[in-house]
A and B are shown apart, each in its own frame.
Chain A
Amino acid sequence: MSDRIVAVMLLVLALLFGFQAWAYVPIGFTDHLGARVFPLAVALFMLPLTLVLFFGRHVAGAWPSARAWRVVFLALSVLVVYALVIEFVGFLIATMGVFIVYGMLYGARWWKTIIAGVVASLILYFLFVWALDMYLPLGALFEELL
């Protein structure tokens, strides 16, 4: 079943991709290939394959349990939040947060996750900023406070 859903999604994707490609007509000078032939070819390559996938043989895969989905969704959300807040709260706080939430998902003791978060975020910060001379934000929040 999951294969059929994927096949339909890829079919729609390939169609949209192909239609969009049609619009890429260069103004004035163009070479023999132009801008739309290659993406159109990719779409045409995908279309029959999605049909084969839809009508072909299907193996019932091991689909994750509801609990696994919840855990993965949570893990994903944490990373989205991380990307959203890193500039504001800074690398250290954001990284600690990820360690603490992931630690909780693993059922580790809360104080262990906090220690892991503090130590690991400091190590990473010094690795990137001090040893590798790259930039990581300290956080707009703290810069305002200072």
Chain B
Amino acid sequence: MDAFQSLMQGFSGALIPINLLVVFLGVTAGTVIGMLPGIGPINGIAILIPITFALGIDPTAMLILFAGIYYGAQYGNSISTILLNVPGTPSSVATALDGHPMAKSGRAGPALAISAIASFVGGTVAVIGLMFLAPVLSKWAIRFGPAEYFVLILFTFTMLSALSGKQFIKGLLATGIGLMLATIGIDGGTGIPRYTFGHLAFYDGLDFAVVTIGLFAISEVFLLIEQTQTAGEVNTKLGRVMVTLKEFLSCWWGMIRSAVTGFLIGVLPGAGATIASFMAYATEQRLVDKKGTFGTGDIRAVAAPESANNAAVSGALIPMLTLGVPGSGTTAVILGALLALNLNPGPLFIVQHADMFWTLIASMYIGNIMLLVLNLPLVGLFVKVLLIPRYILVPGVAMISYGAIYAASSSMTDLMLMTGFGLLGYLMRKTDFPLAPVILALVLGPMMETSLRRALSLSNGDWGVLFASPLVLVLWGLVAVSAFVPLIRTLRRARQYNDSEQH
């Protein structure tokens, strides 16, 4: 009953015209951003950060906007995946397995329709989950002291490193690079400027919007321009974007199962929409694919991963909101924006900023309904965006990024830094280093050091405090498991590789 009342209050906040407009803008922008190559939700949000700060938008509206882009992008993602076989982000790769074959055999309409419906089911189940689980988790998280936080952040790093890239070791090194970047600037505890080399521009630390846009968007521009041949023909004639009742019912339980799995996986740090969608696909294949039609354009195989990846992104908001420790690159960027506005998500956030939290929840119900409308009857309009030629789209992405950063800071140094991070991101992608851990570490690095500092002052300098409570030992256990499982796997693979090389 309590949650219901709070939700009603949330709706009264979310239904005021300006917030409705913000939700609408967010989910529309999200759909377009998810569709286009070169800008994922992480870039869209990072580009909007300097703009929303400059406009002085109310923090609640900002959170609604960013969340809208985040889950909206998962809807848009499936459009380019199904029509072009080009997933905007890895979280739609599983959708491509059957979605693109459906489109090729002339069933693009039903494929798009079921992916929109599945996204809606996944998104809605996850919002319900978020509504009930977040308050419970945050009550539990109040017990976390600084030592627990320190180890929890470590756990998030090892999880994301283990799960985000091809090689665990490169994920960890990417985390290290992010932590190095995070130490640049005046140290909060002692007032000593670190790694600024006398440049005043570095005293405040690196602007994470500059780093994020550089690493993700600008490097993507270089990746896109590397292949200068234009993309293949886009067929924007979709036919009827609808599914039959029989098709819908055949997908129903799969969507529900996938939504629950996706949500729970999304809550885990590091494991996000990509893993959720592949797990959902594999589960459904085992449960319902009796005739072996998965992979040939089975509609159930489109519904399951789409439901799961949408549920996962909403689930991923939970650790960010309740612990203040995000588990993915995009949620790290959202956290960074909240921190810059002096809002500190954490166990007390839902209590202290109850209006903000419940307005966000209500806005997500509304946003998912809007997305269903945008992606069913209006999908024909959105696919026209795919017709924008690359020679306009690619410099367009670059110039929106440069324009936004310059308009906010009027700083040539920021533009130069962004270009430098663009090159770094490009080289990291070329050498198979994941980028998300850099951003996560950049945002969480100062928090990690502060937690360590607080833990040590509470214990009067005794490092044993990092192992003093049962909770902290459990967290160390999780760190060990998340670090050693992939390490053992890597070593075993390395041994097999050596063996096969000797034969």
Contacts and interface: CB of A to CB of B under 8 A. Distances in A.
Nearest to B157: A45
Given A6-B431, A35-B189, A105-B228, A53 B412 contact: no
Nearest to A6: B431
Interface in A93-124: 95, 98-99, 102-103, 105-108, 112-113, 116, 120-121, 124
17 contacts: A20-B195, A30-B190, A33-B452, A42-B176, A57-B497, A61-B432, A71-B226, A72-B226, A76-B423, A98-B395, A98-B398, A106-B225, A106-B228, A120-B395, A121-B399, A124-B399, A136-B407
- Provide the main secondary structure of the chain B interface: helix
Given A34-B190, A132-B51, A83 B419 contact: yes
Interface residues of A, number: 69
Contacts of A64: 226, 430
B415 A86 contact: yes
A-B pairs, top 5 by smallest CB distance, nearest first, are A83-B415, A134-B407, A106-B391, A102-B395, A32-B461
A124 B194 contact: no
B183 A39 contact: yes
Contact of A135 (B55, B410, B453): B410
Interface centre among B176, B389, B416, B456 (most CB of A within 10 A): B176
A95 B497 contact: no
Interface stretch (B6-14, B165-173, B371-379): B165-173
A28 B456 CA distance: 19
- Provide the main secondary structure of the chain A interface: helix
A24 B194 CA distance: 7
Contacts of A99: 392, 395, 399
Nearest to B498: A57
Nearest to B230: A106
B413 to A, nearest CB: 9
Interface string B402-427: 11101110101001100100110010
B468 to A, nearest CB: 15
Interface string A17-50: 1001100101000111111011100100110011
Nearest to A62: B430
Given A38-B449, A75-B221, A82-B402, A133 B176 contact: no
A134 B51 contact: yes
A114 B457 CA distance: 62
Given A99-B399, A134-B407, A31 B190 contact: yes
Contacts of B395: 98-99, 102-103, 116, 120
Contacts of B432: 59, 61
Contacts of B190: 24, 26, 30-31, 34-35
A120 B395 CA distance: 10
Interface string B34-67: 0000000000000000010011000000000000
A132 B54 contact: yes
Interface residues of B, number: 68
Given A79-B218, A107-B228, A35 B399 contact: no
A76 B222 CA distance: 8
Nearest to B395: A102
A116 B399 contact: no
A46 to B, nearest CB: 4
B390 A106 contact: yes
B404 A128 contact: yes
A95 B399 contact: yes
A136 B453 contact: no
Contacts of B321: none
B422 A53 contact: no
A53 B173 contact: yes
B416 A35 contact: no
Contact of B453 (A32, A53, A86): A32
Interface string B439-469: 0000000001100110011001100000000
A99 B4 CA distance: 52
B180 interface: yes
B225 A71 contact: yes
Interface of B: 51, 54-55, 166, 169-170, 172-173, 176-177, 179-180, 183, 187, 189-192, 194-195, 218, 221-222, 225-228, 230, 389-392, 394-396, 398-400, 402-404, 406-408, 410, 412, 415-416, 419, 422-423, 426, 430-433, 448-449, 452-453, 456-457, 460-461, 490, 493-494, 497
A140 interface: no
B55 A49 contact: no
B222 A46 contact: no
Contacts of B183: 38-39, 42
A32 B456 contact: yes
A131 to B, nearest CB: 10
B194 A102 contact: no
Nearest to B462: A32
Contact of B494 (A49, A57, A137): A57
B416 A83 contact: yes
A3 B407 contact: no
Given A35-B187, A57-B493, A135-B410, A116 B391 contact: yes
A72 B453 contact: no
A75 B189 contact: no
A25 B42 CA distance: 37
Contacts of A145: none
A98 B404 CA distance: 16
B402 A38 contact: no
A75 to B, nearest CB: 5
A68 interface: yes
Nearest to A14: B176
Nearest to B189: A31
A64 B166 CA distance: 19
A133 to B, nearest CB: 7
Given A38-B183, A72-B226, A79-B419, A53 B394 contact: no
Contacts of A63: 430
